[in-house]
Structure 1
Amino acid sequence: MASPAQQLPPGWTAEWDATHQRYLFIETHTGHTQWEPPAAGPELSPQPSVSPPPSHHAKRRQYAAGQTQAYYGVGDSLAAVPQYSAAAPQPQPTQLFTPGLAADGQFQQQQQQPPPYYGGHAEPEYINAPQQPVYPVQPPSQMGVLADQFGQMTMGHKGLRLFTTNLLTSPPEPLELRQPPPEIFLPPNSCLSQSPYANADASYQRCTLNAIPTTNSLLNKSKIPLGLVLTPYRSLKEGEEEVPVVTDTVIARCRRCRTYINPYVQFIDGGNRWRCCMCSLSNEVPQLFDWDQVRNQPGDRWARAELNHGVVEFVAPTEYMVRPPQPAVYIFLIDVSHSAIQSGMVATATRTILENLDRIPDENGRTKVSIIAFDTSLYFFTLPSGGAESSMLVVSDIDDVFLPKPTDLLVNLQEARPALETLLGRLSDMFQDNHTVGSALGPALQAGFQMMAPIGGKIMVLTASLPSIGVGALKNREDPKVLGTPKESGLLQAASPFYKTFAIECSRAQVSVDMFLFSPGYQDVATLACLPHYTAGQTFFYPAFNASRTEDAIKFAHEFGKVLAMPIMLEAVMRVRASKNLRMSSFHGNFFVRSTDLLAMPAVPQDLSYAIEVQIEDTITAPFVVFQTAVLHTTCYGERRIRVVTTALPTTSNLSEVFASADQVAIATLLANKAVERSITHRLEDSRDALFNKMVEVLTAYKASMTAAGAGASAQLAISENLKMLPVLVLGLLKNVGIRQSAQIPPDLRAYAQALLTSLPSQILIPYVYPNFYSLHNMPPECGTVGEHGIIMPPPLPLTSERLERHGLYVIEDGQTIFLWIGRDAVPQLVMDVFNLPSYEVLRGGKTTLPVLDNPFSQRVTAIIQKTREMRRGVYYPHLYIVKEDGEPPLRLWALSCLIQDRADVLPSYQQFISQLKDKVSVNSMPSFAIFNWMFM
């Protein structure tokens, strides 16, 4: 059969879409795509007999140790960008995994050159996102055909198609984690609007299933957890539109279930009433709903933002306020003990606050600030309005904390600006000779609370030592003998009840706490992180901080500065509503559950994530269901608002559709939260077992219901194509510092990792669990240059050391740390171009800043590092470490631990993990008599 490309008119090309098993027709000069062939050409309806383009397999090139090659100069064209390869001078094509096993049991590899990759996100952008390139997807295997025959009988009308893949022959492909979640196919006429934004973008709210089972038994049959992953207050990047704001204070809500009007309600009775999409109650349309108050004339109902957008914000009328909107209030508790001064933390912190005073949200001039220093005493500073000098008041009685002065301690930022600038400029010098060792953190927190309680706001704690005196004093409970044993989970629980009790008091008074921890030794992060956990704050950890290292100072100053400049939601409460017979059953994240389903969040930072498990209580009869998250809050600019996030999902009674709609990124995010909670309430071992068993349950359920192999042993391990990366994400969780089986992980590092696992949004969490791995020495020539959508990133590689070549340069990054790995046989010119050093031997490993050099390759590498630090949301600024192949063992092992597909210590490789899953699934699928015979064979 002739190729479609040969039958098309000029200006058109055809590409095989392996996912949909059909050709995609592309108009070359406009980029327009369509499924049907162009009218000018002959009819080319896709037929089953049309074969996709053949795959050409090639063996991976092997390089001998010590083999080097002459450096190729840079010409004027982009194609002449150097390749630092030890083989032929031609650019090396990127090697991607392709299905199939070689004779020796190793994965075959296919050499392909993918299109430019712009460093896409693990979740789709809200709007105006750059279109991600389409990468080849494995055609469905024979097993997939069987699954189609088994479970696709009733799926055509909704558009969901189930493709089965064999995990034994389909290794992980990192690019699949950048794909959007499965498409949502709502029934016809379920939405009032044709707007593409009628459903909330997944970066705000996503569900583990994009087709909701109609019964709990059907959900249990799939073994997939049902839950929501929320980031209701996510940051916006350049080019993204703001969340639309309804300013007329006309808010239509259901009288019975209190749902906010949204694109999925129905207007009845000539448009005078609307029927709730959750409880079906008929409600009156507010009188001013169709009135344009700005122009003072009739308005267009269908243009209202709440009927066209899944994410919208209402300006709240007075009935939504129990008091006038509070101002933004910041109290800085700064540790000035000997270790804090000597590390340079105090000097760096005060300088950062001083440099960011203009960035602190204060558009309405109401923001208040205060500074309290502490060691074994408390130091208050009066900041008189209009004056340039401050005075210090010392309180040494920490057993009965009191405020030494009723005024001038918590002051207006603008009015006290001169005195505040003077104090910040000399605070570090005031305590430079302080030799006091000890920390009265608990009393300092009580003082800050007394000052802030009548108003509410944010306490920012910067401390470099373990609290040792007064209420909340802690002891060093780090015991190497406990690590790796069942008792280790005790180190992840709070050591003192004071911090949880105090946090709950703070939550009631609308006070949030952020912790910045710098101790060179044990600091009990697990206990101190209770404060941010229950007050909707954040924890930041800088182990062994030393400001004399430029990299340490820059990282802290960058992150602290972004936290200071970040707009925040104040005195917020959040509630999630759902359609009839759906109930929110448990909550994960940084907040305090005030009542059954009301989450109290005194101050909501941007880009904090929450996970909520959902339970199906009874049979769902509606064709679709709606989840709606409402966050009532005060902006840091003094306006009371309600942010409403609405997601509508179809229902299904077909198990195939349940599997086809599963969102592996949302599932992994929910599992991370559940795993951390289980490790604290039970044991770390129980947490790991629960993760592994959940993966086994899902695979067993899929095998039993979706494959012809049903019960008994099978040579394959089947899963739906959209869940193909879930096993490697679970493996990444099992190998993450927060969960990993090891007797070498300090409890502070493990506790901080768990704080990240339960607070990071999916876009940042996924690389933290499944890092990115790039090859730089032979990357395509356009990588590191500016493309249509910014810096073009190299294509990510699978996380295995098999891809490391001894002459190569690689980036491994997880969003918190960037490793620049260099092989021992790197050519001298590469070392000179990147590090400005004559050879590999004189290069030193460790924390570093790359030099700014005047050569194209250095500029490309620098651009990629910079893009890595900027492409995700959040305030994190990863350290950069140079890792030499034969360098310091601890640093090498740290970097290699990110390559989670390799075996490490007692932890299995990906292939071993898949084999373990297969064995367990095979046993679970056997009839009971077969299991009996198998056990005694």
Structure 2
Amino acid sequence: MAEFQDLEAQDAVRMPWNVLPGTKQESSATSVVPIAAVYTPLKPFPSMPLLPYSPLRCRTCRSVLNPFAIVDFAAKIWICPFCLHRNHFPPHYHSISDLNLPAELFPQYTTIEYESTPEKPSVPLVFLFVVDTCMIEEEIAFLKSALSQAVGLLPENSLVGLITFGTYVYVHELGNGLIPKVYVFKGSREVTKDQVLEQMGFFAKRPRPATGVIAGVRDGLSQESIGRFLVSASEGEFAINTVLEELQKDPWPVPTDQRATRCTGTALNVAAHLLGACVPGCGARIMAFIGGPSTEGLGAIVSKTLSEPIRSHKDLDKDSAPYYHKAVKFYEGLAKQLVHQGHVLDLFACALDQVGVAELKVAVERTGGLVALAESFGHSVFKDSLKRVFQSGDYDLGLSSSGIFEVNCSKDIRIQGILGPCASLDKKGPICSEIVIGQGNTTAWKMCGLDKATSLCLLFEVVKKDSPETIVQSANNQFYFQFLTYYQHTSGQMRLRVTTLSRRWVAGPGTKQDLIAGFDQEAAAVVMARLVSFKMETEAEFDPIRWLDKSLIHVCSRFGDYQKDSPLSFSLSPRLSIFPQFVFHLRRSQFVQVFNNSPDETAYFRMILNRENVANSVVMIQPSLISYSFHSSPEPALLDVAAIVSDRILLLDSYFTVVVFHGSTIAQWRKAGYHNQPEHVAFAQLLQAPQDDANAIIKERFPVPRLVICDQHGSQARFMLAKLNPSSTYSSDIPAPEREVLFTDDVSFEVFLDHLQRLAVQ
């Protein structure tokens, strides 16, 4: 799949079909794996030019000048490839010729960036910490230490604020150095923006404006009143650390048979109102640190009575989770408000129990927020992930804000929607499809927060009505796509990134071979994973396994080579041969199998899948396995139980967990301490190599994965065994004294493939 990786290296795009069907009939044959593009808007390109002027746009369809435009140098005219409209070049392009091209017409610069000259000074970034205090003292100590570290890492010119909550919500006034002041809101009450402004004394010194919206300095708030709650990071460090030092567990008593009174929803509501009043439209992040389930006020997910369990997947399926729909509705409203204000909600949830990630998902995802889930605030998954947010240098996340994403495409293509971290701006146009998937019915989306890794999955459909004969005669068999991303760069400047793609379409005889030649199996698996996750959340009575199986059988019977009713004659082109394997692992993955996972964990896994690029998503679907031994250098191993050998070490990367697994002989030698003896240097190096590789993986991931170091037959070996193909189980006929045996009733890949061939040839 190297050629598709090369395409991604040029334009940050991977498409399942790189040759597209040209007619509606042809596209219905490929409709199982949709026509889609996984695009990473801010992927770093070292060689991409940054142009210091505004882009040149088509007068009719507003698309930006690109290398696919037809240029008449003599008449100084360019023809837009999207609408075929003729446009005149403005005077400052007068010296243009085929030997003197502007950068945007260079054939290799299909992705280019424009930087607008700043008319106003760049706005500082804002971080508002919202901190849960209903936890045991030990957890609070872990969180305090992580937060004081984070405050020290904040960018110089950023602003910071602090809200703590438990039974009540406490907004801390940080800009009044002498006397620490706190404004308190009751957790069980709904708080409006007006009440926040009134109660926090925004109009104590000057009268409230009689008309208009009250938001920011421009609309009637004084800089002085905003500066009481949002202070610059350098000034606020001392004030925040003072508050954190004195921060204690929520003082309200909790009866032994009850949960703590925690008003998460009200705290986030107050935070959204505060930012909406003080800094509307500028890059601000609410960073929520939550250590347990919300039990009070808006967004509660469970009652205070401990005997009532927190909702499970079974409760959601049976519709017997009394708080769920009400909480989701509240967070949908919060998401709408935050998107309107242009603010992001980040979620750091650390608890042994559930905290409500499933309900909060909508607000985090629509605003493009970050999410990390761990068992404790002392866990490296949380601590290292929080550090990564503010890290600069090689591994910085490249956090950007205030993004707007737009799509333009040829008239025979319609866009159905986007699966990913964005919100629809309801900008309807002729290229909107009637079929809506995800955030659809629009050609523009808001991305309040985005970073280097944020990836969107765009879904398209072909609407050409022509018959293949007329199409074959037409000269230009190209479809064009253009993706525009406006965003505020980390430097504070507004930029516009433009990516223009061209894909060939085919129709009539020979179509099948052309389509196979342009099929990207990895991208197809990732699009199917996002789509099946979306359908599981939105369609009642949806059976994911049946849907995936039917889709795979359809692809194999349409594109496989076989004689009818003869399974032995079945074969797949190398372009498609790994796709059944991806689907096999996807059926067994945490995105589809919700048994043994809580709704929070499932929501977390899907949120990460929905924002990651193809390479990372493939690792989530089908983990990678590397084998280390004395006999050879590290080599990839099959993701199969047969890979477990007593004198080998295995390194499994399943994205969320990285497992270093020692075979039984290696584990015995390690326990005997051989690696500490000078004559066994080679053994010490063998033990160290997978550790070093695991650390290298962990260093560049967000959220930071969990590292599990375990031995064959040990209790934590389950992290490895759950991901392997069960080719030998307790019910297998093979006598295997040496081989590891899995205690599972799951079918193996061989059996799966056998059934697939039998069904595909019918």
Q: TM-score, normalised by structure 2?
A: 0.81
1:726 is the counterpart of 2:542: no
Name the residue aligned to 2:453.
607
Q: Structure 2 residue aligned with 1:678, among 535, 546, 551? A: 535
Separation (CA, whole Å) in 2 of partners of 1:779 and 1:427: 58
CA deviation string 1:476-524 (max 9, x = no partner): 6645692797769999978431001110111111111111111221222
Q: 1:342-421 residue pairs with structure 2 within 5 A? A: 342=139, 344-357=141-154, 360=155, 365=157, 367-384=158-175, 391-398=180-187, 399=189, 400=191, 402-403=196-197, 404-406=200-202, 411=227, 416-421=232-237
Pick which of 810-819 and 861-870 moved more. Answer: 861-870
- What is the Cα deviation at residue 328 of structure 1? 2.0
- What is the Cα deviation at residue 816 of structure 1? 1.7
Name the residue aligned to 1:245.
50
Name the aligned partner's letter for residue 614 of structure 1: F
Name the residue aligned to 1:216.
24
- What is the Cα deviation at residue 568 of structure 1? 2.8
Secondary structure at the aligned position of 1:915 is classed as helix
Secondary structure at the aligned position of 2:113 is classed as strand
1:914 is the counterpart of 2:753: yes
Whether the 8 Å contact between 1:340 and 1:346 is mirrored in structure 2 is no
1:764 is the counterpart of 2:616: yes
Name the aligned partner's letter for residue 420 of structure 2: G
Separation (CA, whole Å) in 1 of partners of 2:459 and 2:705: 31
- What is the Cα deviation at residue 708 of structure 1? 5.5
Secondary structure at the aligned position of 1:751 is classed as helix
Separation (CA, whole Å) in 1 of partners of 2:323 and 2:25: 38
Whether the 8 Å contact between 1:233 and 1:606 is mirrored in structure 2 is yes
Whether the 8 Å contact between 1:352 and 1:557 is mirrored in structure 2 is no
- What is the Cα deviation at residue 606 of structure 1? 2.6
Provide the aligned length of Structure 1 versus Structure 2.
Answer: 673
Name the residue aligned to 1:123.
none
Name the residue aligned to 1:19.
none
Name the residue aligned to 1:528.
360
Secondary structure at the aligned position of 1:760 is classed as coil
Name the residue aligned to 2:269.
446
Whether the 8 Å contact between 2:512 and 2:559 is mirrored in structure 1 is no
Secondary structure at the aligned position of 2:60 is classed as coil
Percent identity (aligned)? 17
The 1:493–1:915 alpha-carbon spacing in structure 2 relative to 1, beyond 3 Å, is: farther
Name the aligned partner's letter for residue 302 of structure 1: L
Pick which of 648-657 and 396-405 moved more. Answer: 396-405
Q: Structure 1 residue aligned with 2:109, among 290, 296, 309? A: 309
Name the aligned partner's letter for residue 494 of structure 2: R
- What is the Cα deviation at residue 611 of structure 1? 0.8
Pick which of 648-657 and 338-347 moved more. Answer: 338-347
Name the residue aligned to 2:429.
none
CA deviation string 1:317-370 (max 9, x = no partner): 78xx9x98644222111112234863544224313313312xx3x5xx4x3221
Whether the 8 Å contact between 2:365 and 2:421 is mirrored in structure 1 is yes
Q: Structure 1 residue aligned with 2:246, among 422, 430, 445? A: 430
Name the aligned partner's letter for residue 580 of structure 1: K
Secondary structure at the aligned position of 1:396 is classed as strand
Q: Structure 2 residue aligned with 1:594, among 422, 425, 431? A: 425
The 1:876–1:575 alpha-carbon spacing in structure 2 relative to 1, beyond 3 Å, is: same
Name the aligned partner's letter for residue 49 of structure 2: P
Separation (CA, whole Å) in 2 of partners of 1:898 and 1:492: 31
Separation (CA, whole Å) in 2 of partners of 1:222 and 1:720: 16
Pick which of 401-410 and 448-457 moved more. Answer: 401-410
Whether the 8 Å contact between 1:687 and 1:739 is mirrored in structure 2 is yes
Secondary structure at the aligned position of 1:514 is classed as strand
Name the residue aligned to 2:306.
none
Separation (CA, whole Å) in 1 of partners of 2:83 and 2:654: 43
- What is the Cα deviation at residue 651 of structure 1? 1.9
Separation (CA, whole Å) in 2 of partners of 1:698 and 1:248: 47
Q: Whose helix proportion is higher, 1 or 2?
A: 2
Whether the 8 Å contact between 2:412 and 2:463 is mirrored in structure 1 is yes
Q: Structure 2 residue aligned with 1:576, among 407, 410, 413? A: 407
- What is the Cα deviation at residue 394 of structure 1? 3.3
- What is the Cα deviation at residue 819 of structure 1? 0.9
Name the aligned partner's letter for residue 915 of structure 1: D
Secondary structure at the aligned position of 1:523 is classed as coil
Name the aligned partner's letter for residue 861 of structure 1: P
Where does the alignment leave 5 or more consecutive residues of structure 1 unmatched? 1-175, 184-198, 293-297, 782-793, 839-851, 926-937
Separation (CA, whole Å) in 2 of partners of 1:646 and 1:490: 48
Q: 1:188-267 residue pairs with structure 2 within 5 A? A: 201=9, 204-223=12-31, 224-234=33-43, 236=44, 241=46, 243-249=48-54, 251-267=55-71
Separation (CA, whole Å) in 2 of partners of 1:901 and 1:278: 51
Secondary structure at the aligned position of 2:4 is classed as coil
Name the aligned partner's letter for residue 402 of structure 2: E
Whether the 8 Å contact between 2:173 and 2:228 is mirrored in structure 1 is no
Separation (CA, whole Å) in 2 of partners of 1:488 and 1:735: 26
The 1:433–1:446 alpha-carbon spacing in structure 2 relative to 1, beyond 3 Å, is: closer
The 1:427–1:798 alpha-carbon spacing in structure 2 relative to 1, beyond 3 Å, is: farther
The 1:918–1:492 alpha-carbon spacing in structure 2 relative to 1, beyond 3 Å, is: farther
Q: Structure 2 residue aligned with 1:625, among 468, 479, 484? A: 479
Name the aligned partner's letter for residue 126 of structure 2: V
Secondary structure at the aligned position of 1:826 is classed as helix
1:275 is the counterpart of 2:76: no
Whether the 8 Å contact between 2:407 and 2:483 is mirrored in structure 1 is yes
Name the aligned partner's letter for residue 822 of structure 1: H
Q: Structure 1 residue aligned with 2:342, among 506, 510, 513? A: 510
1:866 is the counterpart of 2:695: yes
Name the residue aligned to 2:655.
815
Separation (CA, whole Å) in 2 of partners of 1:412 and 1:606: 33
Whether the 8 Å contact between 2:587 and 2:593 is mirrored in structure 1 is yes
The 1:210–1:901 alpha-carbon spacing in structure 2 relative to 1, beyond 3 Å, is: farther
Whether the 8 Å contact between 1:231 and 1:761 is mirrored in structure 2 is yes
Q: 1:117-132 residue pairs with structure 2 within 5 A? A: none
Separation (CA, whole Å) in 1 of partners of 2:95 and 2:325: 55
Q: Structure 2 residue aligned with 1:696, among 553, 556, 566? A: 553
- What is the Cα deviation at residue 797 of structure 1? 0.9
The 1:712–1:769 alpha-carbon spacing in structure 2 relative to 1, beyond 3 Å, is: same
- What is the Cα deviation at residue 552 of structure 1? 4.9
Q: Structure 2 residue aligned with 1:645, among 499, 517, 536? A: 499
Name the residue aligned to 1:800.
640
Whether the 8 Å contact between 2:385 and 2:702 is mirrored in structure 1 is no
Q: Structure 2 residue aligned with 1:472, among 270, 276, 299? A: 299
- What is the Cα deviation at residue 418 of structure 1? 4.9
- What is the Cα deviation at residue 855 of structure 1? 5.0
The 1:592–1:683 alpha-carbon spacing in structure 2 relative to 1, beyond 3 Å, is: same
Secondary structure at the aligned position of 1:745 is classed as coil
- What is the Cα deviation at residue 269 of structure 1? 5.5
Name the aligned partner's letter for residue 4 of structure 2: P
Q: 1:104-123 residue pairs with structure 2 within 5 A? A: none
The 1:306–1:369 alpha-carbon spacing in structure 2 relative to 1, beyond 3 Å, is: farther
Where does the alignment leave 5 or more consecutive residues of structure 2 unmatched? 203-222, 253-259, 304-308, 427-441, 730-741
